[in-house]
Amino acid sequence: MSTGEGPDGILLVDKAPDRTSHDVVSRVRRLFETRKVGHAGTLDPNATGLLLLGLGRGTRLLTYLSGLGKTYEAGILLGRGSTTDDVWGELGPIAARPALEAITPERVHAAAKALTGDILQVPSSVSAIKVGGVRAYRRVREGEDVHLAPRPVTVSSFALSGLRRRDDGCLEVDAVIECSSGTYIRALARDLGAALGTGGVVSALRRTRVGAFSVSEAAVLPEWDQDGPRPDLLGLGTAAGRVLPVRTVDAAETRELRFGRPLSPSARSGGVAAVTESGELVAVLTDERGRARPRFVVPAAPAGKGHGESHAGH
């Protein structure tokens, strides 16, 4: 561990179904014996896939990870709606056969294409968006009729990889969706169904990518009744270098930054990762008033201890 408070780094987790994101955070706190754990965006309990967690000083990097684009593998059921826009809510009746039979593969592809690009999306009413200081899903659970304002999102790709008709006439659709942060896949399923004159709900959801981080790198956590092994952390320098431009700093510049002093400008907009030649993150910089000023600084590791510069693994 790099400090008495626990290790520093980014942990990539492949979340299992039937676990909340809070469950994952709690499990990681127990595994690594630290309270300082945060996440860069949650997944619904029934969804699986990639969660990015920051440990120790890695929590300071979460600001730069939370707005990254994402990729999902989704199952969509056409022909039914639900209170939650997924199959885990209260499902409505199956649509009439004529409406279902009118849905052809060509129409499904055209409807998906129409939901691609820069669009205005009304989030699912059971989202975590606050309405009057209260989460929308809590208001729905209390019986309120919640209407959320549309929000701009970007769906870079809505690719359909499979389409099957069930015995009840409903259609099962497999999709791979690349989208901006803040896009609701449940809302895409709902809107896809609406465009086809029927209902649409998510039946399966897996997040496979967040920015430059892939679920193929992620660890599967041991169960609560198992002690380990601990998954490897992605080092701060490695993680920062995937999301920010990198500026290599020498020993003198490293000393200046660790005293909180600015450097010559980086001539880059936004954050820049100041990293030593050995790959250690020293600070994140932003150009302000003609100088590259540290937004936050990572202190030097105690002698003989590093900042967890390793790769996440299984």
Q: CB–CB of 17/47 below 8 Å?
A: yes
* 95/247 Cα distance (integer angstroms): 57
Instruction: Output the CA–CA distances (angstroms, integers) from residue 4 to 7, 8, 312, in the order listed.
Output: 8, 11, 22
Q: What is the DSSP letter of 102?
A: T
Q: CB–CB of 116/228 below 8 Å?
A: no
Q: Which contiguous run of DSSP H or E holds residue 207? A: strand 200-210
- Pull the structure tokens for residue 259: 């005293």
Cα angle vertex 105, ends 103, 109, to 5°? Answer: 105
Q: CB–CB of 175/76 below 8 Å?
A: yes
Query: Which of 69, 81, 48, 283 is CA-nearest to residue 180?
Result: 69
CB atoms within 10 A of CB 224: 9
Which residue(s) pair with 272 in the sheet? 285
Query: Which of 101, 100, 78 is CA-nearest to residue 91?
Result: 78
Which residue(s) pair with 153 in the sheet? 119
Q: Is 168 a residue of the active site?
A: no
Q: Which contiguous run of DSSP H or E holds residue 131? A: strand 130-131
Q: What is the DSSP letter of 270?
A: S
Q: Which of 14, 44, 85, 287 is catalytic?
A: 44
Active site residues: 44
